[in-house]
Structures are given as C-alpha cells and as structure tokens.
C-alpha cells in the first residue's frame, strides 16, 4: 500500500472492519475446518483481505489463496492493449478455479472498485472483454450458480468508490461515510453481528416460507412505467438469507442481504417494466432502463443513459434477454432508508425489488440439488453467460401473487409487504 492508501485506510474504523472480516468468514462463508478459501479483491482492500485471512486460519482454513486486481492495470489494458486482447480471457485461471470449487474450496469476493472505472472507455471493447471473460468463467460460474460450494460477497470502502458515492466530500470523509454505510448494512456496527445475522436470517426464512406455501404461478407488477407479469418456474422455491449449499454448509452468499428470491420461468414473462435505480455494470452507468417482454424474451430495450452498453449486454447470448431471478425487497429496507445510491449491485439491489437477466440459480427449485441442467431448463430455468441484477421496485409499485386459477393475493402494496 502507498502512504496515501494507508492514510485513507485510517479513516475506517478498525474494530468494525475486523467484525466485517469475522462475519464474512463465520456468517457469510461458515468456513469449515480444513476447507481451503479462494478470494478475490481490489488491491485497495488489502486491509480487509489480511483480516479475512486471519479469521479464516483461526477457523481452521487449510489454505487461503488471494488474487488482487488493480484499477490502473485494468485501465492500461483499454488504453494500450492490442485490439485482439479484448476477445480473450484467462481461461486457464477460471478452469483452475472450477477445479478448486470441485474440490470443495470456498469462495469469497470482496468488491470495492470504482463503479465508473470504465465509463470513459470504448463501450464496444468493454462489452467484448466482458463477454470473453463471461464465457471463460462459465465452468466456475456453474459451480456458483448451482450452489455447489459455500460462497460469499462483502464490500470494502475504497477511495475511488467513495468518491463516486460522496463526490462533494473530502476523500477521507467520503471513505469514512462509505465505510459506516457498509458496516451498518452488513450489521457489523452492532456488538454481536453473528447473533444479529441469526435473527435477520430467521425473518427472511419466514417470508420465504409464506411465499412457498402460496405456490404462486406468477407475480404481477404495476406502477409507473410498469405493467409486468413474471411467470414463476415450475417447482420453484423461494430462498432468502442463509441456506445450505450442496456441500452441506449453510452460508449467507451476500452480506448485506434484504431479499427473498426465486427463479422465474424464462418463457413466461409478458409486459413492460422500467428501472427505478441506475445500474452500474462493468464501469458503465445504465440509467432509465425500459424494456418490453414477449414470451419471456426482451424484444425492445431503451435506456436514457448507457443504451449502447445495455444492448450489447442483451446480445451476449440467447439467455441474456431472459430472466434468471426475481427478488422481493421492501422499500423500507435499511439500505433503502439510508438514501445512499451505492452504484454497486450488492447494496443497491437490497434497497429495491429487482430482477436479473441471464443465468438462474438451480437451488431455487424444489429438489434443485438433484436436478439435471436439462430438467432445470424444462421447468423454466434460464441459462446464460451473464447474471445481472437491476432494480424495478419503489414505494409506488404494487405486486400481486397469481394462483393457477387466476385468483390474486396482494404481496406488496406501495413497495411494502402486504
């Protein structure tokens, strides 16, 4: 770390940062004795990486293997690399990661890069590089999407990210404010975060249990710019908070999380929907999204900002124009009430109901651990190289659950559980 980075890191409460590391290991991953851990992080997050490694080894980790990324190195590729570089990705690395997952290695991702890092770069190059990486990552993504192993995502308040969220504050103040927002959303500002997460997980389980008992065939959304019916996959199952991976370890994949979610039917989505928050994707901001579905497929897509990037994402593959996830989050969630736009899906998706384009989660099916890819597809699960969440909820959105006989049950009214 540079002297400047150390000075900025001093703006972050070390006690709460240590609690976040512990929560990532004990709550997020529930890392098992003897289990290896593979983690990725921006180089700015090194203080959190070191604390995670410490807590992982205290929990009995066999081997902790970190890979760090750097914003300047990323930018140098777009500015100096030959044209052919943007159609390549380190497949050898992703194949090795997939083998590690097959050997029961746990996965932790620490996010914190500047969400607008690539905003000034050629969107065609960004799209090509993203597609190449998505294709190369597929062997590892299948293990994550299939919930084969325990995995988790947490965040670190890097200076470049903080400047985007709080552009009018001095850098050290911006970092301190972002850190406190992350700590609060992650429940590590409390004296006993582990107990707080146990209580929160119980509340999310009760929501999931109610939805699973209803066995809705579809959800109908109505509100400004939105009149949308999302069919739910045959044999779908609602999930939320902690759940058991196929390796038998119960973990919390996202810290923070406020959602309950399931798999929509990829061929049974009709109508139009408008985004309610911007989507930060691969360093570009996509805002004012409006799309129309027919037979589950997006046939028309517009955006007030970043429309070219959006359309390139939709052209990634056939599944990119279909849904792989639908999630319910009340407008009164702590992240929503905080009033901060994080420009990071890990947080912004927990401020609003959302949907995801692309790959579905096989765990969101009854008996999902035993279903083949063919069975998942037959029941309506989507397959794609991408999985991109974007927000469609607000305090002006109503949602009804639709039963097979056409009867309706209020689920959300004005953005809140009904």
Q: Give per-residue pLDDT as tens, 325-338.
A: 999 999 999 999 99
Q: What is the pLDDT of residue 71?
A: 96
Residue of 407, 241, 413 whose CA lies nearest to 327: 241
Q: What percent of the chain is predicted at pLDDT more than 90?
A: 89
Query: pLDDT at residue 1 above 80?
Result: no
pLDDT in tens, 370-387: 899 999 999 999 999 899
pLDDT band at 210 (very low <50, low <70, confident <90, very high): very high
Report the C-alpha gap between 48 and 42 in whole angstroms: 10
Contact 24, 256 (CB under 8 A): no
Facing residues of 410 across strands?
400
β-strand pairing of 408-413 with 250-251: unpaired
Higher pLDDT, 379 or 6: 379
CA 284 to chain CA centroid, Å, is 16
Higher pLDDT, 294 or 141: 294
DSSP letters spanning 351-380: GS-EEEEEPPPGGGBTTGGG--HHHHHHTT
User: 232-236, 241-245, 320-324, 400-404: which has the minimum mean pLDDT?
Assistant: 241-245
Contact 279, 387 (CB under 8 A): no
Report the C-alpha gap between 37 and 369 in whole angstroms: 22
Contact 78, 49 (CB under 8 A): no
- Integer CA distances (angstroms), 129 to 81, 95, 108, 140, 288, in order: 12, 18, 23, 17, 24
pLDDT in tens, 100-110: 999 999 999 99
Residue with tokens 């410490």: 54
pLDDT in tens, 114-168: 998 998 899 889 889 988 998 999 999 989 988 999 999 999 999 999 999 999 9
pLDDT in tens, 221-256: 999 999 999 999 999 999 999 999 999 999 999 999
Report the C-alpha gap between 228 and 11 in whole angstroms: 45
Contact 320, 358 (CB under 8 A): yes
Q: Full-prediction pTM beyond 0.85?
A: yes
DSSP state of 27: I
Report the C-alpha gap between 156 and 25 in whole angstroms: 15
Contact 314, 297 (CB under 8 A): no
Q: What is the pLDDT of residue 7?
A: 65
Query: pLDDT at residue 66 above 80?
Result: yes
The mean pLDDT of 209-218, rounded to a whole number, is: 98
**Which domains does the chain carry?**
3-185 (3.40.1830.10), 208-244+251-417 (no CATH)
Higher pLDDT, 3 or 155: 155
Residue of 62, 68, 72 whose CA lies nearest to 50: 68
Query: pLDDT at residue 10 above 60?
Result: yes
Q: What is the pLDDT of residue 5?
A: 60
Task: List, in sequence order, every beta strand (DSSP E) within 177-234.
Answer: 218-223, 226-232
Q: What is the pLDDT of residue 146?
A: 86
What's the token pair of residue 229? 């019916």
DSSP, collapsed to helix, strand or coil, labels residue 307 as helix
Contact 69, 113 (CB under 8 A): yes
């Amino acid at each position: 770390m540079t002297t400047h980075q150390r000075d900025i890191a001093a703006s972050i409460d070390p006690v709460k940062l240590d609690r976040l590391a512990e929560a990532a290991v004990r709550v997020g991953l529930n890392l098992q004795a003897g289990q290896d851990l593979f983690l990725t992080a921006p180089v700015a997050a090194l203080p959190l990486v070191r604390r995670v490694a410490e807590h992982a080894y205290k929990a009995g980790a066999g081997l902790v293997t970190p890979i760090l990324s750097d914003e300047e190195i990323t930018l140098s590729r777009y500015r100096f690399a030959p044209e052919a570089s943007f159609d390549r990705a380190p497949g050898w690395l992703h194949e090795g990661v997939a083998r590690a997952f097959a050997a029961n290695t746990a996965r932790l991702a620490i996010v914190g890069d500047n969400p607008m890092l690539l905003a000034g770069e050629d969107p065609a190059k960004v799209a090509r590089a993203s597609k190449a990486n998505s294709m190369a990552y597929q062997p590892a993504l299948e293990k994550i999407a299939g919930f084969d192993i325990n995995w988790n995502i947490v965040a670190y308040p890097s200076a470049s990210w903080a400047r985007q969220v709080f552009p009018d504050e001095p850098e050290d103040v911006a970092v301190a404010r972002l850190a406190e927002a992350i700590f609060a959303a992650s429940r590590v500002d409390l004296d006993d975060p582990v107990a707080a997460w146990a209580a929160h997980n119980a509340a999310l389980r009760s929501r999931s249990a109610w939805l699973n008992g209803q066995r809705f065939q579809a959800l109908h959304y109505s509100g400004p710019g939105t009149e949308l019916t999302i069919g739910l996959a045959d044999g779908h199952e609602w999930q939320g908070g902690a759940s058991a991976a196929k390796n038998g370890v119960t973990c919390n994949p996202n810290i923070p999380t406020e959602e309950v979610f399931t798999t929509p039917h990829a061929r049974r989505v009709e109508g139009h929907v408008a985004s309610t928050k911007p989507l930060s994707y691969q360093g570009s901001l996509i805002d004012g999204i409006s799309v129309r579905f027919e037979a589950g497929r997006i046939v028309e897509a517009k955006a007030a900002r970043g429309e070219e990037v959006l359309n390139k994402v939709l052209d990634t593959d056939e599944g990119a124009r279909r849904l792989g996830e639908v999630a319910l989050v009340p407008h009164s969630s702590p992240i929503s009430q905080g009033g901060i736009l994080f420009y990071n899906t890990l947080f912004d998706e927990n401020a609003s109901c959302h949907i995801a384009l692309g790959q579905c989660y096989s765990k969101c099916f009854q008996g999902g651990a035993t279903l083949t890819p063919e069975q998942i597809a037959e029941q309506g699960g989507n397959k794609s190289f991408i999985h991109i969440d974007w927000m469609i909820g607000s305090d002006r959105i109503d949602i009804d659950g639709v039963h097979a006989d056409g009867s309706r049950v209020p689920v959300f009214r004005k953005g809140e559980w009904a």
